[in-house]
Structure 1
Amino acid sequence: MLEDPTGCLQLCLTEVANGLRNPVLMLHANDNTHRIFVAEQVGIIWVYLPDGSRLEEPFLDIKKIVLATPWIGDERGFLGMAFHPKHKRNRKFYIYYSYMDKKKVEKIRISEFKVLASDVNKADPRSERSLLELEEPAANHNGGQLLFGLDGCLYLFIGDGGKAGDPFGKFGNAQNKSTLLGKVLRIDVNGKSPDGKPYRIPPDNPFVSDPKALPEVYAYGVRNMWRCAVDRGDPLTHKGRGRIFCGDVGQNRFEEVDIIVKGGNYGWRAKEGFECYDIKLCYNSSLDDILPIFAYGHTVGKSITGGYVYRGCESPNLNGLYIFGDFMSGRLMALQEDERENKWKKQDICIGSTKACAFPGLISSYNKFIISFAEDEAGELYFMATSYPSAYAPHGSIYKFVDPARRAPPGKCKHKPIPVKTKSKRIPFAPLASKSLGFRFIAWTLQRCQVEIHAHGPPNSTQNTQRRGEEVHFPHNF
């Protein structure tokens, strides 16, 4: 690995998509087609083919249902998606989004959809089956992650309900196991419950026999986890396989990285990071709280965006590094596990010098506001960022990490995608990053306009609409 004199890990990027409106996630269907599915916060999912082109017609367009606004930093919208582990056979996938019901009540909905039998690049918009709906007491802290664990269960990461300091009830939502807010939930989507729920409760969920807890709860005490990922494990030893890493956005002082443990209490609102937040609750609470593997203060960044453990083939030196970032500061970071000391050590990532990234197609700059990370079907790592964090602003791009220090031998990482029939027109990829305007011009413009963002969260903000924390101050509507 290349490091600069300060120990900063130098990586390069390639741009793989642009012109996106707050791209909140990128997924693959694990079906050997190596397509990638990219969701915008407004409620549209696009299909990108292995040659880099995008299909003109979206995979799914539910923007008429999804509650999203042009407000800078608004946290509502299309927030999560996961393909069923047996998607190739059953064509099912799951989504997580904000919407407003007929009584004008803001809610979160988790739904199942199917892909059309006649076109693998199109979801059937009429196939929606609602699994779970939750009323949101405030517009921020909506969580949004969906993922399937190695156990085949669907994990849902729900925010604490919003506002600041989890003010709901005596101990807050996150510590109250009789509400689903501020929790990691675990359900079995392959069936229905005897009581009529459109999913089963896994019998080994940790609180199924606790009369004071909801049986869906798998872990609790979380504030607003923004982006979680399952570790594929070391390619040779499979060590680490199945661990679920999450970034949990902090309140006033700390951002944290957690590994999800069955039945674990992650401390909020008693704790923030390693420190007490609610002093009284903290001193009276259990000493068995699950501590973060890493936390950082607000001099480093103010809104964590959780990432992935790199397990790809093309950049072997990165194997085992947990790579993540901060939405507000735009910093990229990595954690390296030290098994002997049972600690994770942080290393800053610097997107390399022009010299290190001088190869054709490599770039050394990116849009500041880091919204999400992603992994393609081959295990290579990406992140999504925008220069202007509004759900309707088409300034989002997707970047792929490249380690200039060591590449895999030629031919080692080749894969043969299964061909996919396409009925929609293909739009070829046109890179923007190589153009001298782009990133630098937008950054300069924002600076000139004295835009001041104090938000806590992608893609969101204000005291009334804050994902992750405090406020977004914009002097004008642009």
Structure 2
Amino acid sequence: MTAFPAVAAFDWVTIAGGLRRPTDFADPNDGSGRLLVLEQPGLIRVIADGQLQERPFLDLTDRVGANSSEQGLLGIALDPDYAENGIFYLNYTDKNGNTVVSRFRRSADGTSGDPQSEQVLLYVEQPYANHNGGDLEFGPDGYLYIGLGDGGSAGDPQRRAQNNQTLLGKMLRLDVRGQTLYAIPPDNPFADGNGGRQEIWANGLRNPWRYTFDRLTGDLYIADVGQNKYEEINFVPAGSPPGLNFGWHYREATHPFADTPPAGLSLYDPVHEYGRNDGCSVTGGYVYRGSQLPEFYGVYLFGDYCNGFVWGMLRDSNGNWVVERLFQLGANISSFSEDAQGELYLLDHRSGSIYKLIRR
């Protein structure tokens, strides 16, 4: 499509409330009809038949630390064969504020997650309490992508995003399926162990707060939270080579920030940026691929945490990116999500509500 729909015909409606600082959402697509929602303090809650269930799917409050607004239980990815094998992955900060990425398994009766099944795959020390990243996504290549922020504070003071000897400020890519822990994909940039950490897939990120693969094309969209002037959206076409450098801390979006990049260093440009007149913290979304709202088919929807703006982004007939503000909600948008059918949802961090995009 090359034009945005008339949004007066659509609305975001509440499907559940009463959650404590929801951060992420997953549809198990296992025939149960249940939806799983992460609460930042460490619970995974269940929505069934439109009702928030009292019994959690998983309680990790004994190991999750959420002492700052950016710490806690932050991301979930279900194994592509979750319905059969019951395996899922979580990203959280522990009681010491460090990042943990772990594999879990469903309980024997299939109704809950087993807290004793945890296998820690990755442990990353966090020097500060902010910029933890936290998203987890399986790519069309079957690998797990892990977005980590630059370690926090402000301005990347230790220059971690451009230092390939640390995992901070990076997009990681791991082969976790069928592995005891994980293996390194052979085309990761430093898979041979020379020049950087083998887990790294791309660098130069400040705080990638939600990224997604288009379920139809495999294209990757990354929303990276800016420092104090600009937010950005990065687009990586399917099949792009690994090793991209998204530019932070040398620049914030397309604008110089600190230091001079080495001669010959290639920085990957965002396809969209916005300044403080339009928000203060970007939340990445999804390309709509559902069937209920064909007017949105192919539109990438993303938002801003601070003011509740929701934008649409698409390419026009000349291949140029076009962005239009479509909605303004009274919400702190912590995440967008999609169900197994491709319908879109958003999470309100402040009110603890889950909204679904519908036709009026």
What TM-score does the superposition give when structure 1 sets the normalisation length? 0.71
Partner Cα separation in structure 2 for residue 243 and residue 263 of structure 1: 16
CA-CA distance at 1:244 after TM superposition: 1.8
Partner Cα separation in structure 2 for residue 343 and residue 267 of structure 1: 22
CA contact under 8 A between 1:9 and 1:347: conserved in structure 2?
Answer: no
CA-CA distance at 1:343 after TM superposition: 2.3
Partner of 1:167: 157
> Residue 348 of structure 2 is aligned with which of 382, 385, 391?
385
**Following superposition of structure 1 onto structure 2, how do residues 358-369 of structure 1 map, counting pairs within 5 Å?**
366-369=329-332
CA contact under 8 A between 2:71 and 2:97: conserved in structure 1?
Answer: no
CA-CA distance at 1:9 after TM superposition: 6.6
Partner of 2:244: 264
> Residue 246 of structure 1 is aligned with which of 213, 217, 222?
222
**Following superposition of structure 1 onto structure 2, how do residues 333-372 of structure 1 map, counting pairs within 5 Å?**
333-338=311-316, 340=318, 342-350=319-327, 366-372=329-335
CA-CA distance at 1:10 after TM superposition: 6.0
> Residue 65 of structure 1 is aligned with which of 52, 60, 63?
63
User: Which residue identity lines up with residue 146 of structure 2 in the other structure?
Assistant: L
Q: Is 1:401 aligned with 2:326?
A: no
CA-CA distance at 1:35 after TM superposition: 2.2
Paired residues, number:
353
CA contact under 8 A between 1:315 and 1:402: conserved in structure 2?
Answer: yes
Partner Cα separation in structure 1 for residue 33 and residue 209 of structure 2: 25
CA-CA distance at 1:183 after TM superposition: 0.4
Partner of 1:184: 171
User: Which residue identity lines up with residue 221 of structure 1 in the other structure?
Assistant: G
**Deviation per residue, 1:315-370 (Å, 9 max, x gap):** 10000111010001211111012252x3211111136xxxxxxxxxxxxxx43211
**Deviation per residue, 1:63-82 (Å, 9 max, x gap):** 1211013x6xx111001111
Aligned CA distance change for structure 1 residues 289 and 157 (closer, same or farther; 3 Å):
same
Partner of 2:75: 80
Partner of 1:221: 204
User: Which residue identity lines up with residue 94 of structure 1 in the other structure?
Assistant: Y
CA-CA distance at 1:246 after TM superposition: 1.5
Partner of 1:11: 10
Aligned CA distance change for structure 1 residues 285 and 315 (closer, same or farther; 3 Å):
farther
Partner Cα separation in structure 2 for residue 185 and residue 164 of structure 1: 22
Larger Rg: 1
Aligned CA distance change for structure 1 residues 258 and 2 (closer, same or farther; 3 Å):
closer
**Deviation per residue, 1:274-293 (Å, 9 max, x gap):** 11111x324x3545211111
Q: Is 1:113 aligned with 2:111?
A: no
- Classify the secondary structure of the residue corresponding to 1:136: coil
Q: Is 1:205 aligned with 2:188?
A: yes
**Deviation per residue, 1:12-49 (Å, 9 max, x gap):** 12110111111101111233444210010011011222
CA contact under 8 A between 2:209 and 2:225: conserved in structure 1?
Answer: yes
- Classify the secondary structure of the residue corresponding to 2:201: strand
Aligned CA distance change for structure 1 residues 266 and 228 (closer, same or farther; 3 Å):
same
CA RMSD of aligned residues (A): 1.8
**Following superposition of structure 1 onto structure 2, how do residues 79-158 of structure 1 map, counting pairs within 5 Å?**
79-100=74-95, 105-118=96-109, 120-158=110-148
Partner of 1:276: 256
CA-CA distance at 1:181 after TM superposition: 0.4
Partner Cα separation in structure 2 for residue 249 and residue 123 of structure 1: 31
CA-CA distance at 1:384 after TM superposition: 0.7
Partner of 1:332: 310
Partner Cα separation in structure 1 for residue 28 and residue 264 of structure 2: 41
- Classify the secondary structure of the residue corresponding to 1:162: coil
CA contact under 8 A between 1:367 and 1:397: conserved in structure 2?
Answer: no
- Classify the secondary structure of the residue corresponding to 1:268: coil
Structure 2 regions of 5+ residues with no counterpart? none
CA contact under 8 A between 1:9 and 1:349: conserved in structure 2?
Answer: no
What TM-score does the superposition give when structure 2 sets the normalisation length? 0.93
Partner Cα separation in structure 1 for residue 135 and residue 171 of structure 2: 10
Aligned CA distance change for structure 1 residues 9 and 160 (closer, same or farther; 3 Å):
farther
- Classify the secondary structure of the residue corresponding to 1:311: coil
- Classify the secondary structure of the residue corresponding to 2:98: strand
User: Which residue identity lines up with residue 230 of structure 2 in the other structure?
Assistant: F
Partner Cα separation in structure 2 for residue 53 and residue 68 of structure 1: 26
CA contact under 8 A between 1:309 and 1:321: conserved in structure 2?
Answer: yes
Partner Cα separation in structure 2 for residue 91 and residue 264 of structure 1: 33
CA contact under 8 A between 2:334 and 2:347: conserved in structure 1?
Answer: yes
Aligned CA distance change for structure 1 residues 141 and 218 (closer, same or farther; 3 Å):
same
- Classify the secondary structure of the residue corresponding to 2:260: helix
Partner Cα separation in structure 2 for residue 190 and residue 350 of structure 1: 39
CA contact under 8 A between 2:285 and 2:336: conserved in structure 1?
Answer: yes
**Deviation per residue, 1:116-148 (Å, 9 max, x gap):** 122x22011110110010000101000000011
User: Which residue identity lines up with residue 100 of structure 2 in the other structure?
Assistant: R
CA-CA distance at 1:191 after TM superposition: 4.8
